[in-house]
Amino acid sequence: MRRQRTWLYLLFWTVVSFFTLFPIYWLFVISVKPAVELFSTPEVILSSVYWKNYVDVLNDETLRGYMVNSLIISTGNAFLVTVLGFLACYALSRFNLGGKESIFFWTITNRMAPPAVFLLPLFLLLTQVYRFGDFTLLDTKIGMILVYCTFNLPFAIWTLRPTIDGIPKELDEAAFVDGASAWTVITEIVLPLARPGLAVTLILTWVFAWNEYLLAATLTNFNARTLTTGLSEYVTTTGTEWGVMAAISMFTLIPALIVFSLVQRHIVAGLTFGAVKG
C-alpha cells in the first residue's frame, strides 16, 4: 500500500508539473519559429531552431531600455515596500495601538480593489499634486515606484504580520533591560529573525511589480516604460509579431527565475513562519 501511494503521488505531481510547464515550453517553441511556420501545422517537438527573434530583441535598443526600466522600478519598489511593511508591522505588533485590527483590514482593502479604480486618482496625483515647477512624476521611475506601493504595501504588511507576531516580545523586553535602543532591537534582534518572511515579501512584491501592465501602460509614455508594456508595440494593424513577442516573454522569465533562485531557501520558512505558536 505504501509503494502504491508513492507511485500515485509521483504520478499526480508529474501530471501537475506537465500542465504547469507545458505553456512555458510552448512559448519557447513559438519564440524559435519564423512567422511562416507559426500558422502551419504546429510541431510539439522542435525539428529546427530559428534564433532570429532573440537576435532582434537583443539588438533592439528600445527594448533594452524597457528592461532596464522594469528592473529599476520593480527592484526599487520591492525594497521600499519591504522596509515600510516591516516597520509598519513592527509598530502594530509591539505597540498597544487602539483599533490596530481595523488598520490591518483597511490596508488590505486597497489590495482588494481593482487597479482600474485608481487610474484617474493616480494620474491626477502624478500630474497635479506632485508637481515641481515644470517637472511631474508622470512617466518617471520614481513615480512608478511610488504608484506600485498602493497595491504592494498592503500585501507586504499582511505577509509580514505573522512573521513579526511569531517573534516573542520577551526578546525585545530583555534587550531593553540590557540598555538597547529601539533601533538596536529592530536591526539586531527582530530583523535577523524575520529574514525568511522578508525574503518572501521581497520576491512576491518584486514579481507583482515586474509583471504589472495596466498602470504602467497608462502612467508611462517612454521614459519609464516597462518591458511588459513594450509587448503591445508588436500588435499593429498590419499584423502581430508573435515570434518576437514570445522571445520577449521568455526574457521576462529570466530575472524572475534568478530572484527565485537567490531566495528559494527562505520561501518555505517565510510562508510558514508564525503559523504555529507555542
- Round to whole Å and give the CA distance between 76 and 48: 40
Angle in degrees, 0-180, between the axes of helices 141-165 and 61-94, rounded to the nearest 10: 40
Q: Are 97 and 70 in the same domain?
A: yes
**Best CA proximity match to 185, nearest among 197, 172, 196, 166:** 172
Instruction: Write out the residue range of the structural domain in which residue 138 sits.
Output: 53-272
Residues 44 and 89 in one domain: no
| Pair (36, 126) in one structural domain | no
Domain boundary, last residue among 12, 31, 50: 50
Report the alpha-carbon distance of residue 228 to residue 244 in Å, rounded: 13
Q: Are residues 64 and 116 in the same domain?
A: yes
pLDDT digits (tens, 9 = 90+) for 198-219: 888 888 899 899 989 899 998 9
The yes-or-no verdict on residue 38 having pLDDT over 80 is no
Same domain? For 177 and 258 the reply is yes
Say yes or no to pLDDT of 53 above 60: yes
Mean pLDDT of the chain: 83
Q: How many CB atoms lie within 10 A of CB 45?
A: 5
Residue 24 covered by a domain: yes
What value does the mean pLDDT take over residues 11-28? Answer: 89
What's the rounded mean pLDDT across residues 248-259?
82
pLDDT > 70? residue 276:
no
Return the minimum-mean-pLDDT range out of 65-69, 240-244, 266-270.
266-270
Q: How confident is the model at residue 82 (pLDDT cuts 50, 70, 90)?
A: very high
- Considering the domain architecture, whether residues 36 and 97 belong to the same structural domain is answered as no
User: Model's pTM, two decimal places?
Assistant: 0.82
Q: Are residues 74 and 202 in the same domain?
A: yes
User: Is the separation of the CB atoms in 129 and 93 below 8 Å?
Assistant: no
Number of structural domains found in the chain: 2
- Residues 123 and 16 grouped into a single domain: no
Angle at 57 between CA 55 and CA 60, to 5 degrees: 105
